[in-house]
Structure 1
Amino acid sequence: MTGTPAPFTPEPFTAADYEARMRRAAEAAADAGLDGVLVAPGPDMVWLTGYAPPADTERLTLLVLAPGRDPALVVPTLEAPDAAGAAGAPALTLHDWTDGKDPYAATAALVGASGRFGISDNTWALHLLGLRRTLPHTDYVPLTEALPMLRAVKDAAELERLAAAGAAADATYEEIRTVRFAGRRETDVAADLADLLRRFGHSQVDFTVVGSGPNGANPHHEAGERVIERGDMVVLDFGGLLHGYGSDTSRTVHVGEPDAEEREVHDIVRRAQEEACRAVRPGIACQDVDRVARAVITDAGYGEYFIHRTGHGIGVTTHEPPYMIEGEEQPLVPGMCFSVEPGIYLPGRFGVRIEDIVTVTEGGGRRLNTTSRELVIVD
């Protein structure tokens, strides 16, 4: 049992931290043959600047990073005071625009008449089309395509936050396995998971998957009104953000005693997850982690029932590059963090998934989740 995680209050990131990130992004853009990077409100902007403007506003806010130029932020005048108070603001030049003026003209002066730019994936189509209209000789490529590894390698402070988030998720699992499952709805258990994540420090709960019986064969089943019964296998997958960094863990429990097949399938997934975690080390390709997990499941005769990638990166979002999937040849390097989560899903019957967050170290890999991966019996 992990118990309650030790209190953790991280030191805030500084203006120098954000300045270094923006400089790194501009340099990476140059190395990728880009003329710069344009970042709309969302996780990329928060990571680069510490500024979290409203993501649902129709008013253009855009961070402009280019090699050899000072970072600049185009921002609505009414949002300028908040932008100026952000942790990374000392490294930024603010260019505000007022309602009734053309924000794309203000951006054009920073971008230039032509060029190829990386642009954050969540940029509104309204703004991308506005830029194309104002700057017809510019071209744009999504950031996850142009600079997929921008946020992938975490520094020591980020790893501390991810470890704390993992410990809070572990404590949540230790508590949830003591509650009653039989006779309750999936939504009831999901609500318990959300409450526990918040109790252990999460400021944001992103998902609480509770897939009981046949619902467990759907990897992204949303908790529903199905009443959990004795004899059910139950997939639990939950996570969110703590101190701005993500948690994501999965365990599969059984209500009452499992039968021989259920134990066998769970053990296959456990071995696949164990072997994949052991394979993590600097220099191997992301796809190699997927291959190791998939080989165990395929050799056991269940390959067609492993229907998703083995893992995804995690950081300021719970899903981000790199991805552990066939075809991803990006080599692992120390500081990368990602999930290792193989599964078997038998349609109409049950599913099993086991997931840990793993960080690459100089000598191999370190799991940020440490709860038991054995099949746990719950009431």
Structure 2
Amino acid sequence: MNDRGDVMQPGRRRFLRTSALGAAALPVAMLGNSAAAAEAGAGSIKLPASILALQPVKSQIVPITDDERRRRLARAQELMGKSGMDAIYLDGGTTLDYYTGMRWWTSERLMGMLLPRSGDPVYITPAFERSRALEQIRFGHDVRTWQENESPYALIAQVMREKRAGTGTLGIEEKVPFFRSTGIAEAMPQAKLVLATPVTAGCRSIKSPAELALMQVANNATLALYKAVWQGLEPGMTQQHIAAWVEAGYTRMGLRGDASINVGTYTALPHGSREPQVIREGTPVMLDDGCYVEGYMSDITRTFTLGKASDKMKRVFDIVRKAQQAALAAAHPGAAMESVDAAARKVIADADYGPGYKYFSHRLGHGIGMDMHEWYYLVEGNTRKIEAGMTFSDEPGIYIPGEFGVRLEDDMHVGADGARWFTPQSPSIERPFG
């Protein structure tokens, strides 16, 4: 397996989401009275005192500044020079947001940005969207428009010729749809199209202090919510009860997020099941996912029981906990990414839950930031070296078919002297929050 980021997914494990997030989908400024919004989001399900005690986190949030985004654009142009690209094209989505703060989303109509190796960005938009684009643009003022009976690809080719790069190299963001990239290629037959990943991942995989601070708020919020859920749980509750609590809890904090909940034998499936599940005394519960803070994400998993766990559950939990610690210790600048996976996998295999993927059936972790899954992956075969500023999930697990599973997940950030978790490790399967 290679370390390319062109398979990253913005989210998963959302089997139990309600049909709409309701109040939890609203931005902080629109929430108004958080308690009322939370009650509305929870519907007729009674909220426990622990969820009602959650407080807004807005005062902890410091948004990314335009000065930081200017540095990102300059860094992208520096990396374009090193990679031999004359320009890169970005569709609407997370990476455009990263560089410009503009939250455009792609459709069948091309609406994106060309960033040349030097100079200001050039924005390509349908003519009827020009005014909406101008409302958001903060870097440069060159907006090119195309009418519905015209080709946006020909417009891109024209801009590239103006930049004296019509026969040069254009980097295409990996999430640009295939039909779009082929349209650009047909309009520029003498040019070379390549993946822009060395530029986009080269920037986004290294987090600034401001990004780490936002991720810290997101991780703190998710852990606080999980603890509030655990404190309120009672036997006989269903996934739907917990999903409503999660929605209400994040709403009270002024955030949006969700969680997957799996119980008993379904915890042996890494991403769970849609099947109805009821919490019983002594059965394992797996709570997983995260929230957004100013576009930055958390991803945490806790596995626990209500009341007493079996000796086997305790033993498996302790093995997974040691594997998670081993991975943290192995994650430092200069280490091969596969070595972090190997460190955790060795602990699990040495405890007779190997070999390979037999019981620990997925990679150790993934990059995380503005997307829940982004560059790069902690997995066998990825020899890329870790750099200071990178952030990853650390999520070993043991899954015993027909019995139960345990996964522990915390996000970690790598500094010059090694890795640290954003959140404290879970101490035990019976007391997951100490």
- Equivalent position amino acid for 1:29 in 2: M
| RMSD of aligned Cα (Å) | 2.4
Residue identity opposite 1:175 in structure 2: A
Q: Structure 2: state its 5+ residue gaps.
A: 1-49
Distance 2:319 2:62 in 1: 41
What is residue 76 of structure 1 aligned with on the other side? 126
Per the normalisation by structure 1, the TM-score is 0.91
Match of 2:380, SS?
Answer: coil
Q: Provide closer, same or farther for how the CA distance between residues 371 and 310 of structure 1 changes in structure 2, counting only shifts above 3 A.
A: closer
| 2:246 corresponds to 1:187 | no
Instruction: Using the TM superposition, give the Cα deviation of residue 260 of structure 1 relative to its aligned residue in structure 2, in angstroms.
Output: 1.1
Residue deviations 1:174-204, cap 9 Å, x none? 10111225212223223322332332232x3
CA distance in structure 1 between the aligned counterparts of 2:57 and 2:185, rounded to whole angstroms: 50
- Tell me which residue corresponds to 1:51: 102
Question: Is contact 1:231–1:258 with CA below 8 Å preserved after alignment?
Answer: yes
Give the structure 1 partner of residue 90 of structure 2.
Answer: 39
Change (3 A) 1:231 1:175: same
**TM-score, reference length from structure 2:** 0.80
- Equivalent residue of 1:37, what SS? strand
Question: Structure 1 residue 110: deviation in Å?
Answer: 2.1
Please say if residues 368 and 375 of structure 2, whose CA atoms lie closer than 8 Å, have aligned partners that are also in contact. Answer: yes
> Quick one: which of 374, 399, 405 aligns to 1:320?
374
Q: Which residue of 1 aligns with 2:404?
A: 350
SS at match of 2:231: coil
**1:180–1:13 Cα change, 3 Å:** closer
**1:6 Cα deviation (Å)?**
5.8
AA of the residue aligned to 1:102: S
1:321 Cα offset (Å): 0.6
Query: Which structure carries more relative contact order (alpha carbon 8 Å, separation 6+)?
Result: 2
8 Å Cα contact 1:170/1:370 also seen in 2: no
Matches within 5 A, 1:1-379: 7-55=58-106, 57-86=107-136, 89-112=138-161, 113-144=166-197, 147-202=200-255, 204-205=256-257, 207-303=258-354, 304-370=358-424, 372-376=426-430
SS of structure 2 residue aligned to 1:253: strand
Letter of the structure 2 residue corresponding to residue 89 of structure 1: R
Gaps of 5+ in 1: none
Q: Secondary structure of the residue that 2:303 maps to in structure 1? A: strand
Moved more, 118-127 or 8-17: 8-17
Seen in structure 2, the aligned counterparts of structure 1 residues 262 and 301 have a Cα distance that, compared at 3 Å, is: same
1:130 partner SS: helix
Q: Report the identity percentage.
A: 33
Q: What secondary structure sits across from 1:140 in the alignment? A: strand
Cα distance, 1:377–1:363 mapped onto 2, change above 3 Å: closer
Paired with 1:325 and 1:259, the residues of 2 have a C-alpha distance of: 31
Q: 1:181 to 1:82 in 2, by over 3 A?
A: farther
Say if 1:186 and 1:223, in contact at 8 Å, map to a contact too.
no
8 Å contact kept, 1:252–1:376: no
Sort the Cα spacing of 1:10 and 1:178 in 2 relative to 1 into closer, same or farther, 3 A: closer
Query: What is the rounded CA distance, in whole Å, between the counterparts of 2:318 and 2:63 in structure 1?
Result: 42
